[in-house]
Copies of this chain bind each other. A is one copy, B any other.
Amino acid sequence: MKEFDLIAAIRQMTTTLPANGFEGIGDDCAVLPLGEEALVFTTDALMEGVHFLRHTTSAYDLGHKALAVNLSDVAAMGVTPVAVLLSLSLTAKATERWAHDFMEGFTDLARQHGVALIGGDTTRSEGGISIAVTAIGRGALRDLKRRKDAREGDLILVSAPLGGSAHGLQQLMEGIEEGHCVEAHRRPQPEIEAGCWLGKREEVHAMMDLSDGIHSDLRHIVEASGMDAEVDVARIPVAEGATRDEAIVGGEEYKLLLTADGASAEALCRAFTEQFGRPLYPIGRITNASESPSIAWFDGGEPFNCTKKGFEHFSE
């Protein structure tokens, strides 16, 4: 069974459940509006042998990553991550040292972004190590950015050069254990400050984080928004050392993908650079409303055959 089939089946089964004031199924986070405020919620699991191998991922890096991927989902909604809950299931082989290093990676990143650890569960595992994190964000309801809000004429932008994580993974498999791409893969830096800052910009319409690769993730925005889009792959910024293919289909970037009003995008890019000392990268445009949304890929004006698929956890 493919992951997306299972998710679809689960959604179907849960249509008869109440919403209790929550919204946002299909976004990076679920949303609970509370007057002018909102809380957002997301959960992600990391499984040994699927998302990481213990002999290639240090406990510290894994603690960092388990938190980073969840904070990234919150920041991609345009609000501030405030708290997390952690379920940690350890095999008998995972030593006290391993658990300590994992928690150090986890809490170092939590401290860096001012996130509280408010609860958790620790259990033994007979299989591999299993980690599940739930993150909670809090912000103004009007700042929330959703996938469905891309509009005709929006520019499509990314917040950083891409492909570094995928290239780092490739290097690790080849035995190369140092360099900024390896670092990008081992300790992804989620765009917390940038996400919150972009949340406050009205000209930003849709936003999400890049976890499965731009090729796969942009589809979520166009499908949720009911829009066609075109992307010029020549404009996708490629991380130093990475290939263009890695930048297009590589996952686990945890950078931001957003759309912004076409007329205001230039001013947005200038303000972003003033704020963060680095650019936003326009890579394409939302062209028109569509009942069967699709993305046209170009390479410097020439149609580009972009067949590779983003990563899915279940294989057919």
Contacts and interface: CB of A to CB of B under 8 A. Distances in A.
Contact of A47 (B5, B16, B127): B127
A45 B13 contact: no
B16 A107 contact: yes
Overall SS of chain A's interface: mixed
A119 to B, nearest CB: 5
Interface residues of A, number: 72
Interface in A205-238: none
A110 interface: yes
Contacts of A116: 17-20, 22
Contact of A115 (B20, B44, B50, B87): B20
Contacts of A122: 3, 6-7, 10, 313-314
Interface in A110-148: 110-111, 114-128, 130, 132, 134, 136, 138
A150 to B, nearest CB: 21
Interface stretch (A96-104, A185-193, A194-202, A294-302): A96-104
A123 B85 contact: no
B125 A25 contact: no
Contacts of A20: 82-83, 114-116, 138
A130 B10 contact: no
Contact of A125 (B50, B103, B111): B50
Nearest to A7: B122
13 contacts: A1-B90, A9-B99, A13-B107, A17-B111, A17-B116, A20-B114, A20-B138, A22-B83, A41-B136, A49-B127, A51-B123, A125-B130, A126-B127
